[in-house]
Structure 1
Amino acid sequence: MTALPEHLRRATRARTEEAGKRARAALAELAKAGKSISFTAVARRAGVSTDFLYRSPELRTRIERHRAKAGPTPTRSAGSSDGRSTSAAVRALSARLTRQQQEHRAAVESLRKALQVAQGENLELRRRLARYEA
């Protein structure tokens, strides 16, 4: 792997520093407004990824400290009437997973029955063989 040229390293560093400034400003805005502070809320407000926040030790510590001060955050129920609580992608993947689970259960049941039949045939053949050997 080749090293990045110096001008690309400077640009990356500047972009990272700018994202950090935006995240710190977003955190301060949320705290000042008394709004719920979470990695997702800060990321949305700052226009950065949650991964960026988690990988930045300083920002991660600040967000966790603010969350600890605020206490437990209220959770939404799974059947919330708010359509935004569960994205369409999550619902589609959940439906797909449910279908696959049903298919796998049916396949396992079919294999279980086939195994029972095979074991019965095996037992019958062993009994016949025992009669011939005796």
Structure 2
Amino acid sequence: MTPLPEHLRNATHARTREAEKRARAALAELVKVGKPISFTAVARQAGVSTDFLYRSPELRMQIERRRAKGGSVPAAPADASGDSSTSAAVRALSARLTRQQETHREELASLRKALEIAQGENLDLRRRLARYEAD
């Protein structure tokens, strides 16, 4: 595997630092306004993924510490609706994928049938040609 060129490495580090800065600012803002602290809340406020927050040891520690100070985090109604809309989206995409798979299976079966017919006709024509050439 070829290592990344220096300019790409630098760009990656700069993006990561910027995301960390946004996450710290989001955490501070949530604390300031007295909202419950959670990885999801910080991620939404900062525009980063929760995975990013969990993988950053420093940010993870800060969020867990702030969350512990505030007690348990109540389930926010926005999270519940986000989960149901996510689930609905997943169900819709799964149904669409299932329909596409069925359509593709039908097309494949049709193409196989046509190929069998074409191969049969080809074999018949070759046999007729062989008889014609023998005469």
Instruction: State the one-letter code of the partner of 2:23.
Output: A
Task: State the 4+ residue runs in structure 1 displaced beyond 3 angstroms.
Answer: none
How far does residue 88 in structure 1 lie from its aligned partner after superposition?
Answer: 3.0
Distance across 1 between alignment mates of 2:7 and 2:33:
39
- Structure 1: gaps of 5 or more residues: 97-134
Equivalent residue in structure 1 for 2:81, among 84, 91, 94: 84
* CA 35–89 in structure 1, closer or farther in 2 if over 3 Å, else same: closer
Aligned pairs for 1:1-134 (under 5 A) are: 1-75=1-75, 84=81, 86-91=83-88, 93=91
Distance across 2 between alignment mates of 1:18 and 1:85:
26
Aligned-residue Cα RMSD (Å) equals: 2.2
| Segment drifting more, 65-74 vs 2-11 | 65-74
CA contact (8 A) 2:25 2:46 kept: yes
- Structure 2: gaps of 5 or more residues: 95-135
